[in-house]
Structure 1
Amino acid sequence: MSLPVDAVAALEAFQAVASWEQRARLLMQWGERLPVLADDEKVDANLVQGCESLVWLVGRLQDGHWQFAASSEARMIRGLVALLLARVNGLSAAELQAVDLPDWFAQLGLSRQLSPSRSNGLNAVLQRMRELSRTHN
């Protein structure tokens, strides 16, 4: 399965830096790029269950491809979610089902930094994306 353009850009950026400090900085920068969600999108219905940090997620289907937007108060989570969005935006519902989250973060060199709670939270975000894609096809 070919990667979305943003995912390729993320891989190239993260594989170009060697140290964890540089990766952490890069992670924060990716988080800063997340578009801000409107207040009317930051509602309970869009809150992802299973995250320790508050994460809001909205998604829409455009020409058979999913586009997601998300927001979080936590800087580290914002960065991780931004990288997840880079990986999934533009995918079809079927491709979304096939995304391997641990593999993606391993490729980015970030799996060591994913605590179990962060890992669970990101899995919850991905599960929510999959739910949205199943209810809208």
Structure 2
Amino acid sequence: MATQAFEDIAETFDFLEDWEERYRHVIELGKAMPPMPDALKAPATKVEGCASQVWIHPRIEAGHFDFEGDSDAMIVRGLIAVLHALYSGLPVAEVGKVDAAAELGRLGLDRHLSAQRSNGVRAMITRIREVAAAAG
């Protein structure tokens, strides 16, 4: 049930030979994201449970989920971009149905992130799901 944007990332990962290349690609995805306005980097948008500073500002537009995100760590900013590809544009009711662990597992991220980074990704997914559930 992944979006086309996520499928594009998965397809690119299939072509990359090793994890160093995949990490570089994740970082590039983060660099390509539009910057999050500093005014949105507030306690209300900060994601607790991440080793790095992480902010997610969700938006519901015409019944579809979207969010802006940022981090002070480049790899985490890239992980935010991956989650954006996974969730952005979905109908709000579909957000909670996404098996994020399975989808991220397709990329191998479950096996190649540190425990702290994995906890941070789970915290981001929890925030996304909570906001979508509250909006739905």
**Same fold, judged at TM 0.5 (above):** yes
Cα distance in structure 1, aligned partners of 2:134 and 2:97 = 17
Q: CA-atom RMSD, angstroms?
A: 1.3
Alignment of 1:79-90 (within 5 A): 79-90=78-89
CA distance in structure 2 between the partners assigned to 1:100 and 1:73 by the alignment: 27
8 Å contact kept, 2:92–2:135: no
| Aligned amino acid, residue 53 of structure 2 | L
Match status 1:58 vs 2:91? no
Query: Any unmatched runs of 5+ in structure 2?
Result: none
Corresponding letter in the other structure for 1:37 = M
Count residues with an aligned counterpart: 136
Structure 1 residue 136 displacement after superposition: 2.0
Report the CA distance between 1:65 and its aligned residue.
0.9
Q: What are the superposed Cα offsets for residues 78-114 of structure 1, whole Å, 9 maximum, x if unpaired?
A: 1111111101111123321122222122211322212
% of aligned pairs identical? 37
Question: Runs ≥4 in structure 1, deviation > 4 angstroms?
Answer: none
Where do residues 41-56 of structure 1 align in structure 2 (5 Å cutoff)? 41-56=40-55
